[in-house]
Amino acid sequence: MQGRDTSQRKIIPPRGGLLHIVDAAGYSLAGLRRLWQETATKLEILGMALAAVAFLLRGADVWHWLVAAGLFALVLAVEALNTALEVLTDRISPEWSAMARDAKDLGSLAVGLMLMVTGGFVLAVTAGMV
């Protein structure tokens, strides 16, 4: 609805108590739906599934599973932050700029570092090093 005047929109104050928690859960689910649109997220989920199979075949200890679950959760959290950064950067700077490129590259670096740490742990477990 381009051209629609939003200056008369009514601001709805946040709800309190348990309703605030319900609203927050809804926002998180909306974020998850948005994150699922990213190809990188689908590949990361595939990586999680492959790691789970490798852990099953290796007979990984409970602590291996717990650490891997935490690392994969961090990968998705950093991916979500990177996606948010990219969306905001595209909104603020739709034209090409070195600063926008740098912002996106730094977000990508953060995801890449998390993937290296997570992948290194999975490899260490499957190789019997930990």
41 is in an annotated binding site: yes
Given 72, 75, 76, 79, the catalytic residue: 79
The length of the chain is 130
| Cα 65 to Cα 51: distance, rounded to the nearest angstrom | 10
- Which pair of structure tokens corresponds to residue 72? 């994969």
Q: How far apart are CA 10 and CA 70, in angstroms?
A: 40
Residue 6 labelled as part of a binding site: no
Contacts of range 101-109, beta carbons closer than 8 Å, 24 or more positions apart: 107/81, 107/82, 108/82
30 annotated as ligand-binding? no
93 is in an annotated binding site: no
95 annotated active-site = no
Q: Is position 42 annotated in a ligand binding site?
A: yes
Given phi > 0 = left and psi -120 to 50 = alpha, else beta, which region is 61?
A: beta
60 labeled part of a ligand binding site:
no
| CA–CA dist 23, 8 (Å, integer) | 23
Asked whether residue 95 is marked as a ligand-binding residue, the answer is no
Residues tagged active-site: 79
| Binding residue ranges | 27, 38, 40-44, 79, 86, 104-105, 108
| Binding residue ranges for a divalent metal cation | 38, 86
| Binding residue ranges for ATP | 27, 38, 86, 104-105
| Binding residue ranges for substrate | 40-44, 79, 108
